Structure 1
Amino acid sequence: MAREGPLQLRILLLGDAGVGKSSLLRRYVEGASWADPPPSPTVGVQCYTRMLKPASGPRVKLQLWDTAGDERYRSITRSFYRNVVGVLLVFDVTNRKSFDHVEDWYQEVASLQDLNKVLFLLIGHKSDLQQSRQVTTQEAKTLAGLLGMSFLETSAKTDSNVTLAFETLACDIQKALQNGEIKVDGAWWGVRVLHSTQPPLNQRRNKPSGQCQC
């Protein structure tokens, strides 16, 4: 599939309030350490970007949307479900309810999105808190299999698998594009080719994060 420029992939983080979606994003995009002030609860949605240069293929711009898990913002976050190509479904391994709600989040996306055009990755966050764990790795793997997605455990505190999570989903999306399972459609903004002139990649690396103008 010929392209004239780098790809932009729109990816959404979904899950209950307090599972650590914002911490994951800050660790990945900004390299924020656990010593930094914790992020404030997300109000509505916040957008971040990061550029990737895969070992093969064109550069990729990740447009990462952090969503509020609070029910009062649900009408706002739902409006973003239709325009994504990837979803990180995040639960807290120390919070059983957040795991029990994973399928609800999945079904919400399914009710508004063509699931042939979106890829999911299940994330069990706060894996460093082993003594407080309420959800086993095997339970999460089983659920991921039932929902047709892969599973990873992460910790923003220890930086365990954080980069791997985002880049695994990005890689899966690229493979689906190459195989023709997902197509670049001008009317669908989950994936698009960036035609506009952009600063050199090395300049963008100096500013790897921030609110995106989108």
Structure 2
Amino acid sequence: MIKKIALLIGFTLLLSACSVESVMDQFTKQDQPAEASEAEVPNEDVLSDSADEVAEESPSAPEDDKAPAVNWDPPKSLIPTKLEIPSIGLSAPVEKVGLTETGEMAVTDSFETTGWYEKGYKPGSQGNAVIGGHVDSYEGAAIFYDLQFLSVGDEVVVSDENGEQLVFVVTDMVEYPWDDAPVEEIFGYTTDRSLNLITCTGDYDRDSNNYTQRLVVYTELKEA
């Protein structure tokens, strides 16, 4: 339970603090939302249990020769090292990010790279994999600045170090208030094979050094 709470705090921090210098810049801790304490969050146990359930529930070939054949070929998951979004000309490295020693979500140092939350789900597995990126810096637009121009149906491609690829399709784009994003919906378990891209949006408040909203681009694995 302690591990789950710590991870959930990390998820909340991801969506609760960002500045013009960084989308997810060394977040300031805040009180954990009341509803978050009971929510299920991705961790190694959930991943293991989910894999076991998939194996147990996988359909077998029908005994009746007249019955239609069952094709069961679940897609492979991968550890992303590259992200491409052709419709906006985006091509960027993907780094692994986790939590800092103080329970804050780590960030990428570069404004031209993206960060995959490695303590969550892998792209291609059942669950919500998450990749975050900077929207801008004091010098101008950063890697996820053009995320706002995506449309439903656009493709998002992730690759691993061996060149294996998975293609996801944008299904929705939602802007949430910075302090009221649905953490479980973005990071939690689902039977869908989802990849969510997150960055800041809305107005920039210089007094709080924060953007007013968070943009979440929801995508699902494209059927072969």
TM-score, length of structure 1 as denominator length: 0.29
* Structure of greater Rg: 2
TM-score, length of structure 2 as denominator length: 0.28
Larger relative contact order (CA 8 Å, sep ≥ 6): 1
Structure ranking higher in strand proportion = 2
Structure ranking higher in helix proportion = 1
